[in-house]
Amino acid sequence: MQKTEKKPIIKVENLTARFGDHTVLSDVTFKVYRGEILVILGGSGCGKSTLMKHMVGLHVPYTGRVLIDGIDVNTDDDRQLNQLRRKIGVSFQSGALFGSMTLGENVALPLREHMHLPEEAVNGIVRMKLAMVNLAGFENHLPSELSGGMQKRAGLARAMALDPMVLFFDEPSAGLDPVTGVELDIMIKRLNSGMGTTMVVVTHELQSIFNISDRVIMLDKDAKGIIAEGDPKVLKDSDDQRVHNFFNREPAGHEKEV
Amino acid sequence: MNNLAPQAETYGLDVEGQKGQDVRFALSGRIALDNVYGLLEELRTKIEEMRPAKLEVDLAQVEYLDSSGALALIFLEKEAKKKDVPFEFVNTTEEAQRILGLIDPEELDVPPLRQEIRLNFFEFVGKTSLELGAEGYNLLGFFGKLLTSLLYLVFRPRQIRWGEVLVYMQKTGVEAFPILGMMSLLMGLVLAFMSSFTLREFGAMIYVAALVDVAFTRELGSLLTGILIAGRSGSSFAAEIGTMKVNEEVDALEVMGFEPVRFLAVPKVLATMFVMPVLTLYSMLFGILGGFLAAVTLLDLTIFTYVNETRKALEFFDIFYSLFKSVIYGMIIAVIGCQRGFQVRGGAQEVGTATTSAVVAGLFLIIVAAAVLSIVDQYIRPFFG
């Protein structure tokens, strides 16, 4: 790994996320470095997805800010925002493919809208991206004709269409069988080392955390923030009971073991 | 934060070598999606000019290469090979090597697994007619299912979800009052005002009252209500059931032992049939009121004359027959709305299609029914008149 030059690409500064009176995250600060795979993890309801939605600018923070490559994701400057949107790609939980378009059209959409490329170039890029996620030849299929795992991969191909600097993944292996899940993990790893794309992954699948992550941050519902940060293999032996329970799949006391 | 990327903004190109001999393109800087196709054009013209015997692309100075950039270089390689020009990447940096390694040139040529099918005119007509036939068959099937459900419930009225029926009566009926009243009032007003131009020429202004009255009690009251409810409630039934279908809620009902049609469609159909006559009556009232307002304020009719003329023109058969028609319209609207909802397969887009088609088909069938019922009107009127 080329982790020698640790340059931050995303900075989250003092982020507080609130819905009405309910504070989900309070004063969260961390950095994501260029080229790494950062996994955001934690139990259900701890605010992982909320944090990711703030990082991509879908939610507006109550206080604090998120900078991606120096641009505030909630900036009012349309030009900057456009630049930013080309630098990030998001792979949604269920693919979020447009049901009325074929896979090829789905992937071509950002290329056609954001770039002025010759048609053969668009077609070439579409085929390349689909091949990268092992869907070569599926460009004329509709999303509804594919299995869940294939839809997710196609969503990834669309997220990668503009060669983003940062890719966000929301629960990449949720709802997939173990084999498909691990294949997706390997694919994420392969694309990360091949293209050097920074990746931010939200998940709670232990196996996949150990497979892909360079570094993790762990959120907690009660702490409303980060309770642990670092290498998952180290965190596994953490002294913090909450972290220990998570990594070792142990009950937190809500259910007695029989 | 700004010193993050001290990268070159664009690419550089150095050409070494003689025309017709070995040529080396030394690339440098940033080669990415936004500029690589410019570079590609430049390289193509250079190749065209120099006709090299052998081509080398030097990537040593490339600072940044993304996958689309790499793809364009692979395109170049393919084109060169097609022209039998030996082609080679030299001094590939480790990063560039990794990206080039991600792209499998073989897979770029995999033909699509499915070819797009274009139908000719006759195939299109045939396919559409078959679909139309199937649609009619489905609608009839659904109607039959609903009728058997209703028949079943006639003997077991306690199994009808009356609470639900009331909720839908509220949604379809009570909440439609303001807009329906507004629509009818304006319609009556316009009708009276417009007809007055012609009637005045004949000195028959007094018939404005009868005209508005007959129009609303015979046809417009029920038709306006039908059109409004088709747009308001037919669409919402289709969207509601369609979304439930997408979320597998309908399947959940089925495995829990509820008959989905009985559970979801019957309350909606009953509620719509119950509120339609009331809404129609209300629409007639406001239509006539609209005509009345136009007559006494804009035209030269007195209140007494207008009321008197209206009473003379009013026939109870008209009103009752209109109420009967409105029940039929209500049934059409609700049945089509529910049927389109149940037809949804797949995703969110289908729900939109179903909603549109519920309104379009609902309106169409209401108009057809209105035509048929007004013919029937002529035959049965003598028995009641």
How far B117 CA sits from the closest chain A CA (Å)? 10
**How confident is the model over B4-51, as pLDDT tens digits?**
444 557 788 888 877 777 888 888 888 888 788 888 888 888 888 877
Give the model's confidence band at B220: pLDDT under 50 very low, under 70 low, under 90 confident, else very high. Answer: very high
Give the model's confidence band at A211: pLDDT under 50 very low, under 70 low, under 90 confident, else very high. Answer: confident
The fraction of chain A above a pLDDT of 90, given in percent, is 0
**How confident is the model over A81-118, as pLDDT tens digits?**
888 888 888 888 877 888 778 888 888 888 887 777 88
How far A256 CA sits from the closest chain B CA (Å)? 31
CB B104 within 8 A of CB B74: no
Question: Where do the DSSP E strands lie in B237-323?
Answer: none
Q: Are A131 and B107 inside 8 Å of each other by CB?
A: yes
**How confident is the model over B317-338, as pLDDT tens digits?**
899 999 999 999 999 999 999 9
User: What angle (nearest 5°) sits at the alpha carbon of residue B114, between those of residues B111 and B120?
Assistant: 115
Instruction: Supply φ then ψ for residue A231, to 5 degrees.
Output: -80, 130
Q: Are B72 and A121 inside 8 Å of each other by CB?
A: yes
User: For the ranges A167-171, B166-170, B370-374, which has the lowest average pLDDT?
Assistant: A167-171
Q: Are A70 and B4 inside 8 Å of each other by CB?
A: yes
What is the pLDDT of chain B when averaged over all its residues? 87
DSSP sequence for chain A: ---SS--EEEEEEEEEEEETTEEEEEEEEEEEETT-EEEEE-STTSSHHHHHHHHTTSS--SEEEEEETTEETT-S-HHHHHHHHHHEEEE-TT----TTS-HHHHHHHHHHHH----HHHHHHHHHHHHHHTT-TT-TT--GGGS-HHHHHHHHHHHHTTT--SEEEEESTTTTS-HHHHHHHHHHHHHHHHHH--EEEEE---HHHHHHH-SEEEEEETTTTEEEEEE-HHHHTT-SSHHHHHHHTT---SSS---
At B180 the pLDDT is 95
At B5 the pLDDT is 45
Residues of B in contact with A132 (CB under 8 A): 67, 102-103
Closest residue, chain B, to A68 (C-alpha):
B1
How far A238 CA sits from the closest chain B CA (Å)? 33
* Beta-carbon contacts of residue B295 (< 8 Å; ≥ 6 apart): B192, B196, B208, B209, B301, B306
CB A28 within 8 A of CB A225: yes
ipTM: 0.72
Give the span between the Cα atoms of A70 and B203, in whole angstroms: 80
How far B87 CA sits from the closest chain A CA (Å)? 20
Q: Are A136 and B114 inside 8 Å of each other by CB?
A: no
Tell me which residue in B33, B116, B347 faces A99 most closely, judged by beta carbons.
Answer: B347
Q: Are B110 and A141 inside 8 Å of each other by CB?
A: no
Give the model's confidence band at A3: pLDDT under 50 very low, under 70 low, under 90 confident, else very high. Answer: very low
At A258 the pLDDT is 60
Q: Please, what are the domains in chain A?
A: 8-96+164-247 (3.40.50.300)
Closest residue, chain A, to B38 (C-alpha):
A117
Give the span between the Cα atoms of B373 and B367, in whole angstroms: 10
Closest residue, chain B, to A142 (C-alpha):
B114
**How confident is the model over A18-60, as pLDDT tens digits?**
888 888 888 888 888 888 889 988 877 788 888 888 888 888 8
**How confident is the model over B67-119, as pLDDT tens digits?**
888 888 888 888 888 888 888 888 888 878 888 887 877 777 777 877 777 88
**How confident is the model over B341-376, as pLDDT tens digits?**
999 887 777 899 999 999 999 999 999 999 999 999
Q: Element (H or E) spanning B31, and its range?
A: strand B22-31
Closest residue, chain B, to A8 (C-alpha):
B4
Q: Please, what are the domains in chain B?
A: 2-107 (3.30.750.24), 156-384 (no CATH)
The residue among B264, B272, B263, B377 whose CA lies nearest residue B332 is: B272
CB B271 within 8 A of CB B168: yes
**How confident is the model over A124-152, as pLDDT tens digits?**
888 888 888 888 888 888 888 888 888 88
**How confident is the model over B134-156, as pLDDT tens digits?**
988 988 999 999 999 889 888 98
Tell me which residue in B66, B95, B108 faces A127 most closely, judged by beta carbons.
Answer: B108
Tell me which residue in B68, B108, B114 faces A141 most closely, judged by beta carbons.
Answer: B114
